[in-house]
Amino acid sequence: MLQVESRDGASHVALQGELTIYQAAELAERFLPLLRREEGLVIDLSDVSDMDSSCAQMLMLARRHCQARGHGCALVNHSQPVIDVFETLGLVSWFGDPVVLPGESGPKNRPGMDAGMGGGA
């Protein structure tokens, strides 16, 4: 479901697998405490195979929470299912993170990302 690594004053979180309402409670239990760490958040979405609105909503909460406290909260390496969901819900512009569309350069090659993170699951 998720892997966390604290590095350079930020929590690097890799979300993985299916993230739907069935996982929402557990994800909340493991993910939301990270918001209390009072540090920046980098969320890698490359290994998310499915996401529904409930988990997208949790990412919105995270972004808003961090922003209100002056911390960064970056979403990176959106997988195709995540891109689809974000586009449907109007979240691409809500988050405003760069999203790499298929056909352009590989999704794992974003500047500022730790290349080693995605596959660590």
Partner 1 sequence: MSMEAALQTYFAEAREMLEDMESRLLEIEHIDAGELPETLNAVFRAAHTVKGSASLFGLDGIVDFTHVVENLLDRMRDGEVAVEEDLISLLLRCQSHITTLVDETETDEQISEDSRRLSQHLIVELGGYLASEDKPADKAGLPTAGEAADDHAEQFPADADDETVDNECWHISLRFGRSSFRDGMDPISFLRFLDGLGTVRQVIILDDWLPDLADYDPESCYLGFEIRYMSQASKKEIEDVFEFIREDSDIHIVAPYSRLSDYIDLINAMGEDSDRRIGEMLIDCGALTESELAKMLAMQAAAEEADQGRRLGEIVSQEDDRLGPVVDAAAQKQTQMREAINRKQKSLRVDADKLDHLINLVGELVTSGAGTFLQAQILGNPELIESMSKLNDLLEEMRDASLKLRMVAIGATFTKFQRVVRDMAADLDKDVDLVITGADTELDKSVVEKIGDPLMHLVRNAVDHGLEPAAERAAAGKPETGTISLNAYHDSGNIVIEVGDDGAGLDADRILAKAREKGMVGEDQQLSRSEIFDFILKPGFSTASQVSNISGRGVGMDVVRRNVIEMRGRTEIDSEPGEGTTIRIILPLTLAIIDGFVVGVGQAAFVVPLDVVQECVEFSEADHEEKDGQSYINLRGNVLPLVNIRQRFAVRGERPKRRSVVVVKADGQSVGLVVDRLMGEFQTVIKPLGPVFAGLSGISGSTIMGNGEVALILDVQGLVQQITRRPQRSATHS
Partner 2 sequence: MEKTVLIVDDSASLRQLVVLALKGSGFRVVEATDGVDGLAKLDGGRVHLIISDVNMPNMDGLTFLKEVKKRPDTRFTPVIMLTTESAADKKEEGRAAGAKAWVVKPFQPQQMLAAVNKLIQ
- By beta-carbon proximity to partner 1, the closer residue of 51 and 117 is 51
Question: DSSP letter at 39?
Answer: S
Q: What angle do CA 20, 24, 26 make, to 5 degrees?
A: 130
Asked if 32 interacts with partner 1 (CB under 8 A), we say yes
Residue in 50, 92, 95, 114 binding partner 2, rule: CB under 8 A: 50
Min dist CB 50 to partner 2, Å, is 7
Interaction partner, residue 32 (partner 1, partner 2, none; CB < 5-8 Å by kind): partner 1
Min dist CB 36 to partner 1, Å, is 8
Residue with tokens 């239990």: 29
Which residues make Cβ contacts (< 8 Å) with residue 100, sequence separation at least 6? 77, 78, 106, 107, 110
